[in-house]
Amino acid sequence: MNPTFRKFFVPFVAIVIFLALWEGLVWVMGWPNYKMASPSDLIPAYQRYWDLFLIMGWQTLWRTVVGLIVAIIVGTAIGMIMGFSRTMRDALYPLLVGFNAIPKATVVPIVALMFVGAHDFNTILIAFMISFFPIAVSVSIGLSTLEPEYRDILRSLGASQTTIFWKIALPKTLPEFFGALKVAVTLAFIGTNLMEIVSPHGRGLGALFDSGKTNSDYPLMFAVLIALAALGIVLYYVVVWLERTFAGWAERESH
């Protein structure tokens, strides 16, 4: 099989099989759609609310992406501080772990009260808070595990710390960074939706989910879940593409 063809064909077939199994399961068990909607129930839901899906989907997407960008900037900065200074690593690690251990669902009402009415800001803030941790940890590990020989090779030539960072430390950390970014993408979606669902303000796919719940429109709720999954897949593959572009060297050719 042609490799490009396989790359698109195999996942496509997998999705079709998954949908068929889902449809079959609901049909065999005879579940009503308020217990478990089937893929065929979703099509009318999408048809009826198509414009809402587009608008809400976009709201969820841009706030997730902005939250993620903030997480990358702040996470990388914290990672650099911890990667280069042992003292800062010892100082910040317990704080970070503690912060990460707090379930973000409990933070949502606090944030919502703290910045009443600033819905976009609140949502971005939660998306950021939930997703920066893996980035900070991976960057700090990448930098602190740099073998001393790499540093020595450049230092013996009189290179400055900045040169060592740009020429060696940064590129060497990229594979770990992208690994963490893949985790962060999914987390950021959870953050955005948490805010949209727990503190509803009529925006985003989370709000659409909530209105499905209020109106007992179960197929709509399932349709929102699938839309979220689709957005997640799109964003994930954007990260994969970035990784290939900037850290493609780390990929071993498969034999």
Partner 1 sequence: MSPLIDIKGVKHAYSTADGPLPVLDGLDVTVEEGGFCAVVGPSGCGKSTLTRLVAGLMMPDEGEVWLHGEQVKGPRSTVGMAFQNPVLLEWRTILQNVLLPLEIVPNALKGKAAEDRARFLLSLVGLEGFEDKRPSELSGGMRQRASLCRALVHQPDVLILDEPFGALDAFTREDLWQTMHDVKAKEPFTAILITHDLRESIFLGDQVVVLSGRPARTQYVMNIPRSDKPTLDDLYTSEAADRLAILRQQIEIAQGRTEAEVEG
Determine, following the binding rule CB under 8 A, whether residue 144 of this chain makes contact with partner 1.
no
Determine, following the binding rule CB under 8 A, whether residue 255 of this chain makes contact with partner 1.
no
Min CB(254)–partner 1 separation in Å: 13
Backbone φ, ψ for residue 161 (5° rounding): -60, -40
Cα 84 from chain centre: 26
* Residues 191, 196, 197: CA angle, nearest 5 degrees: 100
Please tell me the distance from the alpha carbon of residue 162 to that of residue 84, in angstroms, as a whole number: 12
Please tell me the distance from the alpha carbon of residue 195 to that of residue 109, in angstroms, as a whole number: 9
Per-position DSSP letters for 230-244, written without gaps between them: HHHHHHHHHHHHHHH
Determine, following the binding rule CB under 8 A, whether residue 3 of this chain makes contact with partner 1.
no
- Give the SS3 label for residue 195: helix
The piece of 66-74, 84-92, 112-120, 244-252 that touches partner 1 (CB under 8 A) is: 244-252
Min CB(170)–partner 1 separation in Å: 10
Q: Which is nearer to partner 1, 202 or 248 (CB)?
A: 248
Residue pair 41/212 in contact by the 8 Å Cβ criterion = no
Determine, following the binding rule CB under 8 A, whether residue 215 of this chain makes contact with partner 1.
no
Backbone φ, ψ for residue 96 (5° rounding): -65, -45
- Give the SS3 label for residue 130: helix
Determine, following the binding rule CB under 8 A, whether residue 147 of this chain makes contact with partner 1.
yes
Question: By C-alpha distance, which of 103, 72, 78 is closest to 91?
Answer: 78
The piece of 82-90, 117-125, 168-176, 220-228 that touches partner 1 (CB under 8 A) is: 168-176
Determine, following the binding rule CB under 8 A, whether residue 245 of this chain makes contact with partner 1.
no
Residue indicated by tokens 């900045």? 162
**CB atoms inside a 10 Å sphere around CB 170:** 16
Which of 167, 234, 237, 244 touches partner 1 by CB under 8 A? 167
Residues 77-136 that bind partner 1 (CB under 8 A): none
Handedness of CA 12, 14, 18, 23 (dihedral sign): positive
Determine, following the binding rule CB under 8 A, whether residue 171 of this chain makes contact with partner 1.
yes
Cα 124 from chain centre: 12
Q: Which is nearer to partner 1, 15 or 152 (CB)?
A: 152
Which of 153, 229, 230, 233 touches partner 1 by CB under 8 A? 153
Determine, following the binding rule CB under 8 A, whether residue 163 of this chain makes contact with partner 1.
yes
Determine, following the binding rule CB under 8 A, whether residue 249 of this chain makes contact with partner 1.
yes
Min CB(239)–partner 1 separation in Å: 18
Please tell me the distance from the alpha carbon of residue 200 to that of residue 193, in angstroms, as a whole number: 10
Min CB(7)–partner 1 separation in Å: 23
Determine, following the binding rule CB under 8 A, whether residue 21 of this chain makes contact with partner 1.
no
Q: Tell me how many residues contact partner 1 (CB under 8 A).
A: 21
Min CB(36)–partner 1 separation in Å: 48
Binding site for partner 1 (CB under 8 A): 147, 149-150, 152-159, 163, 167-168, 171-172, 174, 247, 249-250, 252
